[in-house]
Amino acid sequence: MKECVFQRCIIPQCRATMDVSETAFRCPRCGNLLDVDYEWDRLPLPRSLAEWENTWSQRSHPLNFSGVWRFRALFPFAPENQVVTIGEGQTLCLRSDAVAAYVGLRPGRLFLQYEGLNPSGSFKDNGMTAAFTHARLTGASRAACASTGNTSASLALYCAASGQMRGIIFIGSGKISYGKLSQALEHGALTIQIAGDFDDALRRVQDVSRQLGIYLVNSINPFRLEGQKTIMYRVLEALRWQPPDWIVVPGGNLGNVSSFGKAFAELYQLGLLRQLPRLAVINAAGANTFYELYEHRGLRWNGGQYDDNLITGYMRELDVNQRRADTLASAIEINRPVNLPKALRALEICGGVVREVTDQEILDAKAQVGAGGLGCEPASAASVAGLRRLVTEGIIQPEETVVCILTGHVLKDPDATVAYHSDDRNLFDQKLGRRGVRRATYANRAVQVPNDLAEIIKAIELYA
Instruction: Name which position in 150, 209, 288, 335 contacts ligand F0G (CB under 6 A).
Output: 150
Residue (252 or 386) nearer to ligand F0G, CB: 252
Could you say whether residue 127 binds ligand F0G (CB under 6 A)? no
Could you say whether residue 377 binds ligand F0G (CB under 6 A)? yes
Q: How many residues bind ligand F0G (CB under 6 A)?
A: 21
Instruction: Name which position in 67, 76, 119, 149 contacts ligand F0G (CB under 6 A).
Output: 149
Give the count of beta carbons closer than 10 Å to the beta carbon of residue 320.
8
Asked if 122 and 379 count as a contact pair (C-beta separation under 8 A), the reply is no
Strand partners, 143: 167, 215
Query: Which amino acid, residue 425?
Result: R
Residue (150 or 401) nearer to ligand F0G, CB: 150
Could you say whether residue 222 binds ligand F0G (CB under 6 A)? no
HEC letters along 353-407: EEEEECHHHHHHHHHHHHHCCCCECHHHHHHHHHHHHHHHCCCCCCCCCEEEEEC
- Parallel/antiparallel/unpaired status of strands 92-95 and 278-284: unpaired
Nearest CA-CA partner of 293 in 275, 276, 281: 281
Strands of 45-156, DSSP E: 92-95, 110-114, 142-147
Interaction residues for ligand F0G, span 56-95 (CB under 6 A): none
Q: Which residue is nearest to ligand F0G (CB)?
A: 252
Nearest CA-CA partner of 224 in 138, 308, 123, 149: 123
Query: Which secondary structure element, helix H or strand E, spans residue 6, and what is its range?
Result: strand 5-9
Residue (9 or 382) nearer to ligand F0G, CB: 382
Spatial neighbors of 202 by CB under 8 A, at least 6 apart, are 146, 170, 218, 253, 336, 338
Residue (23 or 407) nearer to ligand F0G, CB: 407
Query: CA–CA separation, 205 vs 49, rounded Å?
Result: 38
Could you say whether residue 147 binds ligand F0G (CB under 6 A)? yes
Taking the complex as a whole, the smallest distance from the CB of residue 227 to ligand F0G amounts, in Å, to 12
Nearest CA-CA partner of 334 in 290, 376, 382, 364: 290
Query: Which secondary structure element, helix H or strand E, spans residue 290, and what is its range?
Result: helix 289-291
Taking the complex as a whole, the smallest distance from the CB of residue 211 to ligand F0G amounts, in Å, to 21
Instruction: Name which position in 23, 120, 129, 148 contacts ligand F0G (CB under 6 A).
Output: 148
Residue (209 or 253) nearer to ligand F0G, CB: 253
Residue (167 or 408) nearer to ligand F0G, CB: 408
Taking the complex as a whole, the smallest distance from the CB of residue 135 to ligand F0G amounts, in Å, to 17
- Parallel/antiparallel/unpaired status of strands 5-9 and 34-38: antiparallel
Residue (150 or 206) nearer to ligand F0G, CB: 150
Interaction residues for ligand F0G, span 278-337 (CB under 6 A): 331-332
Could you say whether residue 416 binds ligand F0G (CB under 6 A)? no
Q: Which range of residues in 3-11, 53-61, 102-110, 246-254 is near ligand F0G by CB under 6 A?
A: 246-254
Residue (34 or 379) nearer to ligand F0G, CB: 379
- Is residue 146 classed as helix, strand or coil in its secondary structure? strand
Q: Which range of residues in 50-58, 82-90, 105-113, 147-155 is near ligand F0G by CB under 6 A?
A: 147-155
Residue (55 or 147) nearer to ligand F0G, CB: 147
Interaction residues for ligand F0G, span 250-269 (CB under 6 A): 250-256
Query: CA–CA separation, 336 vs 416, rounded Å?
Result: 24
Strands of 175-334, DSSP E: 190-194, 215-216, 246-250, 278-284
Interaction residues for ligand F0G, span 330-369 (CB under 6 A): 331-332
Name the site residues for ligand F0G (rule: CB under 6 A): 122, 147-151, 219, 250-256, 331-332, 377, 379-380, 407-408
